[in-house]
Amino acid sequence: MNVLVLGGTAWLGREVALAALAEGHEVVALARGESGSVPDPVELVRADRGEADAYDAVARRDWDVVVDVARQPSHVRGAVAALGGRTGSWVFVSSCSVYARDDSPGDDESAALHPAHAEDDDGGETYGARKVACESAVLDAVGDRALVARSGLVAGPGDHTDRTGYWPLRFALPATSDGAVLVPGADLATQVVDVRDLASFLVRAGTGAATGVVNVSGPVVPLATHLDTAREVAGHTGPVVEVTQEWLVEHEVQPWSGPRSLPLWLPLPDYAGFMARDTTAARALGLRTRPLAETLADTLAWELRQGPGRLRRAGLSPAEEAELLDATGRHRT
């Protein structure tokens, strides 16, 4: 089949191209080409999706599947206008951030959404609402041929957000000489999907002409289990220092991502359901996910290849963690 990936050079888009190649499809990627290279033998069509002529080079060809990972509503509107009539199937990668509430574990695709934010911007506070607008553009234009995949937190090698690589790397390379690692003690659910499993699902569902709206993520596991798995793959044997979310707030540690943060930790009860979505519909369409230990081991190997001293987008620096560990007294294990 002929597969067009709108993207194809950044993390997920490139994995989609690789997954399509592995299935024996012919793949074209439309991208600026600034995020990296496309895998051989993918054809790269260079274009800026913000320009009026962005799709001219591919709009006169017929496609079996178009896969779009965009986050800007104007890009999605332009794509479906130019290409919606030239493809048999449309796959749009959305996000579980579209949901208006995050405090209810087990919610499925019928849960209420944020009001759509139809304008382009790069603000994190509008990300979910922009994805809602993107979904609407797809469903309005090609809804009878569209699969909207609301992805959970994407994990695995190549995670440039640094959220899923932080824990196995920190357990592998503790910040202090006694090997202590600071962890949140919240009774929180976690749910991640390996980028390779997500990409494979998108390609197979698209080439199988699947339609509908589905949550796509891995099994729900307690945060403590996720951290134990990260510790095991890293071979960590040092102390584990557990602190409460109140202690973390008091010491100005941020949740989720960004500077001075602990990835995967989110405040309770407001985020009890953020990583606990129902994925029954996606699994009925063929979603299969690998063991968490495999994802984290492969992510650790990638992190070590990148160089552990690089500037990170999420987590505590070694100096910050050492300071916080001193503040606990390091006597808890």
Tens-digit pLDDT profile for residues 135-163: 999 999 999 999 999 999 999 999 999 99
**Does residue 219 register a pLDDT over 50?**
yes
Give per-residue burial for 74-90: e unless 16+ CB within 10 Å, then b.
bbbbbbbebbbeebebb
**Does residue 195 register a pLDDT over 90?**
yes
Task: Report pLDDT for 34.
Answer: 85
Please state the rounded mean pLDDT for residues 78-99: 98
Task: Report pLDDT for 332.
Answer: 43
Q: Distance between CA atoms of 93 and 75, rounded to whole angstroms?
A: 13
Q: Determine the longest span between alpha carbons in the chain, in angstroms.
A: 67
| 297-333 pLDDT, tens digit each | 999 999 999 998 888 999 999 999 999 999 998 754 4
Task: Report pLDDT for 205.
Answer: 98
Q: Distance between CA atoms of 102 and 301, rounded to whole angstroms?
A: 32
Other Cβ atoms within 10 Å of 332 Cβ, number: 12
Classify 310 in phi/psi space as left (phi over 0), alpha (psi -120 to 50) or beta.
beta
Q: Distance between CA atoms of 109 and 251, rounded to whole angstroms?
A: 37
Q: Which domains does the chain have, with CATH numbers?
A: 2-151 (3.40.50.720), 166-192+219-275+292-328 (no CATH)
**Does residue 239 register a pLDDT over 80?**
yes
For the entire predicted model, the pTM comes to 0.96
CA distances from 155 to 215, 260, 289, 321 (A): 15, 20, 11, 23
Please state the rounded mean pLDDT for residues 251-271: 97
**Does residue 276 register a pLDDT over 80?**
yes
| 41-66 pLDDT, tens digit each | 999 999 999 999 999 999 999 999 99
